[in-house]
Structure 1
């Protein structure tokens, strides 16, 4: 599901926690101050379970379980190298855990069981909360609730299930500070040969924002640099007037410091679609791919050299229309669209101008590099 209706956080403790009622009252007070939301409490078992409803149809539950969590749940997260980087002693922390608090945030009163999902699809009705703003709202509320729990009871670790990440309790505040999608929401599973200095990334969590995961094959670039580009790709897709970079196109900042090509792969059985990002240029690390087309080979896509265009008039018009549409998308979010000519020979001359010269400005640069 692209926008999972149920967002959950599990906070693990090495002691008993007796502050749940105070935590719930504090959450309702702070969330009320932040958003004006008012909550009813239709179900409560003092010190153990509280169900809240309100604030734009949000259903929020706080549950205290006075026993360790099921360690099998953490197996995928523990298999990720990033978990060990974030918390080298995570296994010892899990072993020391003696109780946990579960926080669940969803929209609507019907829940999100597989049976309900199938029923809603059958009758042609969307699931409640199935929009980007509502999904981000659930993430924000779950984050706030987790922070309040941590203020009252220091946790060994937080399991953020949306991205299947284990985060040390004492660093959760800093890790969750950025707006979604942030490192809390996008889990970078690393793969490749670290000893040879070639590490790639396959994300978990991007599907909830753009309908697919993101992969960067192992390269000599530091994985952290590639991860920053993954977050930039997501920000471009999610800002106002934003969009997912089209298949075969590239993107990078206005200063030309880096460039990545995007390839869309259809979902294989049991998986989701994949957006492959291929690094072409990263000046900070002296990286230049063999198929990178330099900026010196930019052509005017409004008046391209005739010898670079298809001979067929219909194909030529289709290409011009494609460029026009992509230029509109890029400029719609303050960027600039470029087309570059492949090869290393002399640049062909442009046709005679048919009107006054035109320019474009902006920060990100997008475009199909090469004809």
Structure 2
């Protein structure tokens, strides 16, 4: 009997992201200020956003605080803090290897800064408290729409906050930018680079970990836990450790997110496999429930099956052959005489339609050691989502 978990396709999750409402950055400043920089900054920000068709009104300001209002209940708030930020709040990001890769002297920049700006972007008056326990559930109980709770509005907040940070840095360069939603730090230079692709290091922090490699392994194994993927797809992603560069695993995690948020996109079902055109890399997907003992919440687990570029194949992977003709080829093999066969074909056609809906295609395979005419055996299905690798 074929293991149906191997080909559990056509069943998709309802994809709702966390869509953090109040987005925040901290910009660390090294210069000495004899007066508040806010009046000049606000004028420049209004000029920039007006040109972009996003008028920001400013009812009033103090020397340390200003709140501006825009269309669609948009709120932009800036605070000027004359002293340094609490160094302790950076402990988490400084403990992440990716932070030292992006800003090797981040610790020194934090130590040197003398003042800082806090920039907030949110939708609606409740934007700053939507993440607090019970608030979002209260909105649901009352049948009220949560302000800013959509992918489009989340992406808009990312865009507004990015533009605000770049505008401020052009006026008074920051030594360090702390993007708190993903707990990432950037210099003003590499910030300009990462904002070009929001679904990347800007909003999805690749937290690297390095377990002990299997006995006899010649290479170091590296895995990834994301921080920020849940804003897009409702759960974080854990990529199991493998002896390949971390960027290969990170690209897989970003591809998984992009498949979900594409037009007609969807969460790849539990047990399915996805890769890139040309069959150069392949990941298996698992939907994993929370584990209190391990301190894990619900998440999506990706396992690298193989990477042609890095010569890696997972130890227990079995060679598989593509079924010619895809789902039609499977139908020729198993027929439609039984309810099980018809249900299997229906699920495959549904999965094929989903893949084609995002410009991809479904590839059906079978174990290489099975005869192609084996009755009732439909093999496995792979989704080839993109014609080229996405991510880093």
- When normalised by structure 1's length, the TM-score is 0.87
**Which residue of the other structure, out of 80, 84, 93, is the alignment partner of 2:96?**
80
**Which structure ranks higher in relative contact order (CA pairs < 8 Å, sequence separation ≥ 6)?**
2
The structural deviation recorded for 1:54 is: 1.5
Are residues 1:279 and 2:304 paired? yes
Aligned residues: CA RMSD: 2.6
Which residue pairs with 1:163 in the alignment?
Answer: 182
In structure 2, the CA distance between the partners of 1:40 and 1:331, relative to structure 1 (3 Å rule), is same
**Which residue of the other structure, out of 221, 230, 234, is the alignment partner of 1:207?**
230
Give the Cα separation in 2 of the matches to 1:84 and 1:250. 33
Q: Is the 8 A contact 1:203 1:213 kept in 2?
A: yes
Are residues 1:44 and 2:61 paired? yes
**Which residue of the other structure, out of 179, 184, 193, is the alignment partner of 2:202?**
184
Which residue pairs with 2:156 in the alignment?
Answer: 137
The alignment partner of 1:304 has SS state of helix
Which residue pairs with 1:304 in the alignment?
Answer: 330
The structural deviation recorded for 1:55 is: 2.3
Which residue pairs with 1:356 in the alignment?
Answer: none
The alignment partner of 1:41 has SS state of coil
Give the Cα separation in 1 of the matches to 2:187 and 2:261. 28
String of CA shifts for 1:181-210, please: whole Å, max 9, x gaps: 122111011111489511110000000001
The structural deviation recorded for 1:240 is: 1.2
The alignment partner of 2:191 has SS state of helix
Q: Is the 8 A contact 2:333 2:372 kept in 1?
A: no
In structure 2, the CA distance between the partners of 1:2 and 1:85, relative to structure 1 (3 Å rule), is same
In structure 2, the CA distance between the partners of 1:343 and 1:264, relative to structure 1 (3 Å rule), is same
The alignment partner of 1:124 has SS state of coil
The unaligned stretches of length 5 or more in structure 2 are 1-16, 214-218, 377-382, 388-392
The unaligned stretches of length 5 or more in structure 1 are 352-360, 366-371
Which residue pairs with 1:175 in the alignment?
Answer: 194
Are residues 1:6 and 2:22 paired? yes
The structural deviation recorded for 1:315 is: 2.9
Which residue pairs with 2:13 in the alignment?
Answer: none
The alignment partner of 2:185 has SS state of strand
Give the Cα separation in 2 of the matches to 1:188 and 1:341. 34
Give the count of matched residue pairs. Answer: 352
Q: Is the 8 A contact 2:276 2:384 kept in 1?
A: no
In structure 2, the CA distance between the partners of 1:16 and 1:126, relative to structure 1 (3 Å rule), is farther
